Structure 1
Amino acid sequence: MSVLLSARLGADFNKLWTASAVSNVGDGVTMAAGPLLIASISDNPALIAGAVFAQQLPWLLFALVSGALVDRIDRRLLVVSVNAGRALALAGLAVAVTTGTVPVALVYVVLFLLGSGETLADTATGALLPSLVPASRLESANARLYATFTIGNQFVAKPLGAWLFVIAAAAPFGLDALTFAVAAVLTATIRPVPVPVAAERSSLRAEIRAGLAWLWRHRLLRTLAVSMGFGNVAFAAAFAVFVLYCRERLGLAGVGFGVLLTAFAVGGLFGTTVAAALARRFGSAAVLRTGLLVEAGTHLTLAMTRSPWVAATVIVVFSVHAMVWGVIVSSIRQRVVPAELRGRVGSVHALLDLGGAALGSLIGGLLAGVWTITTPYWIAAAAMVVIATFAWRPLRAA
């Protein structure tokens, strides 16, 4: 069945899919090994935390600009060039680690470059996909991309990265360089796709404004973007203190916390296998509406329960919803946004996604510090009820 589906999605998609799978493994390896490398250089907690921030910062700085560039440049060649550049940056870091000449600043620079490349490559890949896959197969294609991210980046890469770092500190970064080089070669073999031609070409700032204006005028996509942004604020506010919630509310030690994190990945992986079928069986509108109720119910249940088993069950259900929501929303956006605007509209979604999560993490820590560990969950549940009420009628258009 898997071979049949791959054939129906086309050889070019299979190349893009394989390139994504390979680079996701390498990316996850570096995400695990990067903080370990910083910790081997310095025991300053702020410097270690800064390694994660250095890779996330480009999304906040460049997401909209990257979206505008994606709409100007050959998307296939852009992904090839960015992956080749990331391979060179990681190869340089691996050499520096091998020779013992790796200051913290160099690690930050490389991680920042990787994050900057990600804003271009991920946005370009999302914009390129509808040119490679029939519109009726977008849900299946997106589900496969989400699945390989979950398996490669979450399940395989993190323990592999830590293991490789213990064996040889330079090994994970060398492996990641190789994965990006392989991804660049695979993407280069995809058939050329014509660059979308805009009605008129203006400054980047004007083109960014045009993309924002188009999104704002489209009621369904505006609703999905705003719902996602505020929903991520609620989610991140609740789960910013999840490790403390597990210890103080559920009575779980480190192993139990790790099991619950695994539950997120298990649910997400299952969600990728059922997303397309659910959309076909019940319709996108019904599935998206149900997802908003699942989010509200998740936060409410976690606010009330003290049972680790109940928490694990609701987390699996939530993760299934999150992956299904992502697949359906990505497919809707790719299907309805004009080819010349896909980069800009996709970058707005990415900015709201990460910006909402960053803001929510800050809010959640403050709320838990002022009140109790469950306060962020109660507030997140109430917020999701408001979001669902706001989005309910516009989602009919899905």
Structure 2
Amino acid sequence: MERAVRRALESVIDPEIRKPVTDLDMVDRVVEVASGRVEVGIRLTIVGCPASDRIERDVRQAAESVVGPGNASVELSVMTPAQRAALTERLRGGRAARGNPFGPGTLTKVIAVTSGKGGVGKSTVTANLAVALAARGLSVGLVDADVHGFSIPGLLGLVDDEGLAARPTRVDEMILPPVAHGVKVISIGMFIEPSGPGGRASSTAVAWRGPMLHRTLSQFLTDVYFGDLDVLLVDLPPGTGDIAISLGQLLPNAEVVVVTTPQAAAADVAERSGVVARQTGQRIVGVIENMAGLVQPDGQVLDLFGSGGGELVAERLSTGQPEPVPLLASVPLSMALRQGGDDGVPVVVAAPDDPAARAIEQVAARLAGMPRDLSGRRLDVSVR
């Protein structure tokens, strides 16, 4: 019976680390305390673990699937410092405690989403793109690098009624990112305290300059445990400032997607952000045109912000690259896209048949299908 219960516990996944509790050495004991009854001891990673109720419930259900309803009890305890240290070492896979797992040699596809100016919907597109990629079965992480204008937690529903973003869980020096719609998310908004009128987190401003910005992005990459990712998306701030330059230093292998609107003025500025990415050694893999024409009830298209900006940016950025830069999609103006951002439920989830959702799904399909450049990267395989 004890062996059968342990096998059943292999299906219980820690909701923060996203691995079975049996693989994390969280199962302290499984003991048959009476005929047909078992007691399961579970070690939580930290005191006050926010997922404790869910873990206890899932463990009890798994045990009862073997011994029957009402015949399993669960006792929770907390890992010792030595056990936590062993866990973090196992999760890092032998990598240095403060190493960057997404630097040169990584097998994770790193995609930086940039724009020349604010207000083009870059973060909205990034959030929906991350969710669309996760829905395709990929393991996806999202770094909100827009420190001054962070909005990703709100767009993905990781905020409470006061606008306070969900807090990551810490296991010693390791940070476990909150998960929304299958995407592991980290943002500076998850670390700041509310200071505005009425204590609203949304009123808090971050007034940092270059060195602090670089350090923050570096810590997001080194201290946050994302696990083995297929794709890491980085939502960059608009413009060509400190964060864009830091990204080139920390993630030189990143591939860049440029977001613009159809307006010619926006296209001119978006081109500059792509040029900076190329100067730091990154490859531009495509352009997304957001806020494209809105289809009217009579079938006519209202080009509220003009037309052709996306194609223009793609054409200009193709110069100097071995392959042309494609226009990945034109995302039309959409009430559902805006509403999804306000509600914290991305349009690709809330209204998958909306034209904007279909356009973003098109981008996800193209990015997921792009082969990874493995030249010069170490593959952890051996020949016997």
Q: Above 0.5 in TM-score?
A: no
TM-score normalized by the length of structure 1? 0.25
* TM-score normalised by structure 2 residue count: 0.25
Rg bigger for which structure? 2
Q: Which has the higher contact order (CA 8 A, sep 6+)?
A: 1
